Structure 1
Amino acid sequence: MVADATAIDGVRVFTGDGLTEPQRVCVEGERIVTDGTPDVTVDGVGKVLLPGLIDSHMHTLGRGDLADLARWGVTTGLDMAAWPLSFVTDMRAQAGVAQILSATTPAVGPGGNHAKMPGFPADGIVTTPKEAYAFVERRVADGADYIKIVTEAAPPRGMDQATVKAIVDAAHERNLLVVAHSITTGAFRVAVEAGVDISTHAPLDAVLDDETVARMRDAGMVSSPTLTMMRGIADARAGAGLRYGYARDTVTKFHEAGIRLLVGTDANSAPGVPFAPKHGASMHDEFELMVGAGLTPVEVLRSATTLTAQTFALADRGEIAPGRRADLLLIDGDPTTDITTTRKIHGIWLAGERIR
């Protein structure tokens, strides 16, 4: 189905730094264009047009999850663990819903919680540096968009430092980014020492120390803190000494240090998990939590669009400009001053086709 040529008139456009004056935005086919003759004109007066949102950490178990993302303006999801490859291939090909990228199978230690998940692939369990290189080669063969590592437990449950470092080195040789799952301060230190590119989650056992934060800053590491998930885990395991405030205050330190922050939710629909953020809706929860950690609304919106696109080299999206993919979110109100208005959705376009 070919999407109608569309003009959105009188709308202010989010640029990554703020809003433009009211203007016309034209869409033909799947792309934003400089000008055109529209089949459909949309009144954008008093509204704000955002690039489609990008969730930098989510999981999918099926098309329904991707449809839920799209209904809330999340037009791209970065899946951080999925298998088998046939399932990932099928999800990548879904039309009319959010697009995904995927790490495919993550690297985990032999005795950690992830390795005990029902059906977890044996080829994702890595115990030595030699196995690390073979693991990365398998992910390259799968067409993984980036590499995911779980850095939670020390041996014999988790991977040792040398093995984590070997995965990072092998991935970088293949020009792949490495994302590390870390929810404790010790896991962060393992990830930093190994030279990962992106940390996902934020620690619940303590606020991350100044030295580790400085090392992350100096190395150019990026953080996707998933505060929605951290709050959910802390609430679910209140008696285990885990505190959401540690995660929030760590994000505040990241922000003050100038570490790039991305918006991610860890949205999932898996049975038996400690907390399952809702696909799409949780993105807007995350916005509010990141503002609560000290980011401005403009910074949060940038972290959900342009910065994530830049970090993951998604050159065709994350910005409203001619030639970019027409993934668009039309909002009633001004989310640059009140982040809660991102929930006031007036229109959503996926590759030029209006779905809401």
Structure 2
Amino acid sequence: MSTTAITGARVFDGEKPLGVTTVVIEGGRIVQVGGEAPAGAEVVDGSGATLLPGLIDAHVHTDRDSLALALKFGVTTELEMQGVHTRDRRGAISEDDSVADVRSSGFALTPPGGHPSELFPEGFDPGRPVGGGQGGGQGGGHRGAPPYRPDATGPEAAAASVPQLIAHGSDYIKFMIDDGSVEGHPGLPMLDQDTLNAGVAAAKKLGVLSVAHVLTIDAARMAVQAGIDGLVHLFVEPPTDEIITMIKDAGMFVVPCTVLNASMMGITGSELADDPRVSSRLDTDWDTTLRSCFGHYPQGKLQDVLDSVKALVDAGVDLLVGTDASLPMPFLGGLAHGASVHQELQHLVQAGLTPAAALRAATATTARRFRLSDRGRIAEGLRADLLLVDGDPTTTITDSLNTRSVWRRGTRLAS
């Protein structure tokens, strides 16, 4: 069993900077933090760099190629918010250290004809993983039985679907609360409060985390009233004291996905794509997608979203980094796996978080809120999912893109 010692780097352990120290990994785990490098260890010189836990994207729709792209940017885990990578369908990915690890909600509860059906063009192949704000994710190259699709036609159906989702390998349960207004399709069928309440209660009874897709304050209010554990989007309107207080008092977490809201408002990812640290890792399709946008809500203002982020963090609400990255297609544009995590970090700092707080939102906080007890921090006994970057992103957040090395379960990603 080989031993690797990363020496001389600043270490951010997922909660706070530890200063310059040594981190030793062996057998896919972190076995030592601090002290001297063991005799015979392969030494990786981290001088001038910062060692971070592998980053976690708390909102994606993904496939194997996307997981490979994410890992190139130091994102070692992606949390799928609708898709097929449930426990019974991801064995090969879990054992493949050339791609990011993944957890999944399976399919979300939404009424027939409800969101995200309005997003996709006529003739779009539903067998491919899809998402974008929004939800999709139906293929990914899996064979055998199709993924379980829940029934959200009423309270009894929703409550009965939750244990079925869990039995089919969902790691958490997602609910779509969306009437299509932000996407330019007002009047879509939407979960009513009773159906939502019943589904969330079923998840709580089984001890399973519940999350909600919301893009409006009204939808967020419904989620709070139902007892949802977390919001995996942030509303596009200016924040109100009432909704911020409701979220805080409910103990909820929020995955703002500000990069998605920016795309909805017509802001492309072109500036990010122009960064050579990004462009060098993107193929033509992803470059084109990142330079595109959803553009469904041009009347929106990104500053309103940033103001909501600041109000939430000031209230003590846990924020998690997520992007809603999906497929390399322009109509799902403005986002790219891995790369957009770093832009989200920049948005959080722009909103008023310290760089260290933003990094916590992509590591320890996400691991804690999604009950991923084996990752998200640099501590003895945890998975050796690590990111080494030149510079110090705890003071200059854009340094997070200065990738020097990535490890997934102690295996160093080939550059």
**Fold shared per TM-score above 0.5:** yes
Amino acid at match of 1:220: G
Amino acid at match of 1:74: V
Amino acid at match of 2:69: D
Q: TM-score of the superposition, structure 2-length normalised?
A: 0.80
Amino acid at match of 1:216: I
The alpha-carbon deviation at position 16 of structure 1 amounts to 3.6
- C-alpha distance in 2, partners of 1:76/1:256? 27
Say if 2:257 is the partner of 1:219. Answer: no
Aligned to 2:274: none
Task: Spell out, residue by residue over 1:38-77, the C-alpha distance to the aligned partner (whole angstroms, 9 max, x if none).
Answer: 44111112211000001111111x2110101100000011
Distance 1:272 1:31, change over 3 A: same
SS in 1 for 2:322: coil
Gap regions ≥5 residues in structure 2: 121-125, 128-137, 139-146, 181-186, 267-293
Contact 2:328 2:336 in 1 (8 A): no
- C-alpha distance in 2, partners of 1:239/1:98? 32
- C-alpha distance in 2, partners of 1:238/1:147? 26
SS in 1 for 2:310: helix
Contact 1:5 1:37 in 2 (8 A): no
The alpha-carbon deviation at position 321 of structure 1 amounts to 1.1
Aligned to 2:353: 295
- C-alpha distance in 1, partners of 2:220/2:86? 29
Aligned to 1:341: 399
Aligned to 2:162: 136
Q: How does 1:195-234 map to 2 (within 5 A)?
A: 195-204=227-236, 206-234=237-265
SS in 2 for 1:140: helix
State the superposition RMSD in angstroms.
2.2
Distance 1:353 1:86, change over 3 A: closer
Task: Spell out, residue by residue over 1:9-55, the C-alpha distance to the aligned partner (whole angstroms, 9 max, x if none).
Answer: 11221134432232111111101112644441111122110000011
Aligned to 1:145: 171
Gap regions ≥5 residues in structure 1: none
- Find 2:10's aligned residue among 12, 32, 52: 12
Taking only the aligned residue pairs, the percentage that are identical comes to 39
Contact 2:59 2:255 in 1 (8 A): yes
Count of aligned pairs between the two proteins: 352
Aligned to 1:99: 101
- C-alpha distance in 1, partners of 2:363/2:38? 25
- Find 1:57's aligned residue among 51, 56, 59: 59
Distance 1:171 1:92, change over 3 A: farther
Aligned to 1:284: 342
The alpha-carbon deviation at position 134 of structure 1 amounts to 1.5
Contact 1:80 1:148 in 2 (8 A): yes
Contact 1:136 1:170 in 2 (8 A): yes
Contact 1:77 1:100 in 2 (8 A): yes
Distance 1:38 1:280, change over 3 A: farther
Aligned to 1:264: 322
SS in 1 for 2:261: helix
Aligned to 1:188: 220
Per mean C-alpha deviation after superposition, the further-off stretch among 63-72 and 271-280 is 271-280
Distance 1:330 1:137, change over 3 A: same
- C-alpha distance in 2, partners of 1:348/1:222? 28
- C-alpha distance in 2, partners of 1:187/1:193? 10
- C-alpha distance in 1, partners of 2:188/2:344? 34
SS in 2 for 1:20: strand
Task: Spell out, residue by residue over 1:83-120, the C-alpha distance to the aligned partner (whole angstroms, 9 max, x if none).
Answer: 38699435644502110000011111223232456466
Contact 1:26 1:38 in 2 (8 A): no
The alpha-carbon deviation at position 156 of structure 1 amounts to 6.8
Task: Spell out, residue by residue over 1:281-315, the C-alpha distance to the aligned partner (whole angstroms, 9 max, x if none).
Answer: 11101010111111110000111111011111111
